[in-house]
Structure 1
Amino acid sequence: MSARRAAVLFTGGVVPRLTDARKELRRAQIADAAVRCFSRNGLERTSIAEITAESGLSAGSIYTHYRNKADLVRAATRVVLARHAEVLGEYAAADTPPDPDELLARLVAAIDPVAARVGVQTWGEATTDPAIREVVADMTERMRAMLHDCVTAWLVKVGHHEPAGAREHAAPIAHRVLSLYLAELLHTALRSTTEETVS
């Protein structure tokens, strides 16, 4: 007798459903496993079977939550973006937001080498895969918008600019901060890969 059939008989014909909280937990578990696999093996060489083994779940469970590898990459970038959104939101809301140099320094200090390697691999995939390109473009634009808000807050609260003028002045500054951050992300990814090869 299958496990599903046994569950149906045991519960009187009703198969217990995952709660929303448990679904989110399961999705996060799968996304974290995918990030670890992508970091070790690369996006192209990572199979769903490897992600399944890494997560400790069944292949059916993976496909219940994610349609394909692009969907998993999208989920992983959302997790990273959510972390940035929380931190940058706190910076922008502070009485004295960090200046652009300090903002960049804090972002760089928080770079995770594993996430950096996956990020750089994702950029590479984006050059040939339209679904991944859409994810990368969306994440980059959202990150730029969050940095723009943070720099605007600094100009208004510390520089005493008028809000409208501050937003306009903040745009090129936020662009430079984002460019330098992405360069540091690439540097971290390459350095961590080299260090692993040497050791």
Structure 2
Amino acid sequence: MPRLTDARKELRRTQIAEAAVRCFSRNGLERTSIADIIAESGLSAGSIYAHYRNKADLVQAAAREMLTKRGGTIGEYAAADVPPDPDELLSRLIAAIDPTDARVGIQTWGEATTDPIIRDIVVDATDRMRAMLHDCITAWLIKVEHHEPPRAREHATPIAHRVMALYQAELLYTALHTPTEETPS
């Protein structure tokens, strides 16, 4: 049997994670089984388990993927000659919310209240996103508002916290106000 290249392995991991996210969105985290993910991905159980040990690994991969998407976007904003102000930053983040990701995100938050492994994933992802927001807002304060860097970093902390909270509220709103995908009969 031919060995998979690193690029092919990563593509396969992404394929499995995307199938898991679709299942989590449609069925919920608790009601999604590995068998559901196998069926959704079209891969074998061996292929799934070759890339992920369990469902918690898949939840972590989904959280990482969402953070990577947001992180790339926020990093681009921070690096711009004129970074967006906090209101514009929030507007752009809200405009980019995917309803499927929002539903999975909210379900993951719920699971985090009872599952310490999921809690660690959620806390890490939330802290890292807040740090990225802080960096972007700091860049705006320095480049546009002409604050000195130490003052900008200090002033950015409560603003990043509020932007994060409002973004999370919009994730919840989107999750609650978009219909879920119908389960195939």
Q: Same fold (TM over 0.5)?
A: yes
Q: Which amino acid letter does the alignment assign opposite residue 139 of structure 2?
A: A
The aligned runs of 1:1-199 (5 Å cut-off) are 15-193=1-179
**RMSD across aligned positions (CA):** 1.2
Shift of 1:16: 1.8
Q: How many residues align?
A: 182
In 1, distance between residues paired with 2:179 and 2:87? 27
Q: Does structure 1 conserve the Cα–Cα contact (< 8 Å) formed by 2:81 and 2:143?
A: yes
1:153 partner SS? helix
Q: Which has the higher contact order (CA 8 A, sep 6+)?
A: 2
Q: Which amino acid letter does the alignment assign opposite residue 108 of structure 1?
A: I
Q: 5+ residue gaps in structure 1?
A: 1-14
Provide the TM-score with structure 2 as the length reference. Answer: 0.96
Q: 5+ residue gaps in structure 2?
A: none
**Percentage of pairs with the same residue:** 77
Q: Does structure 1 conserve the Cα–Cα contact (< 8 Å) formed by 2:99 and 2:175?
A: yes
Shift of 1:79: 0.7
Aligned structure 1 segments of 4 or more residues deviating by more than 4 angstroms:
none
Larger CA Rg, structure 1 vs 2 = 1
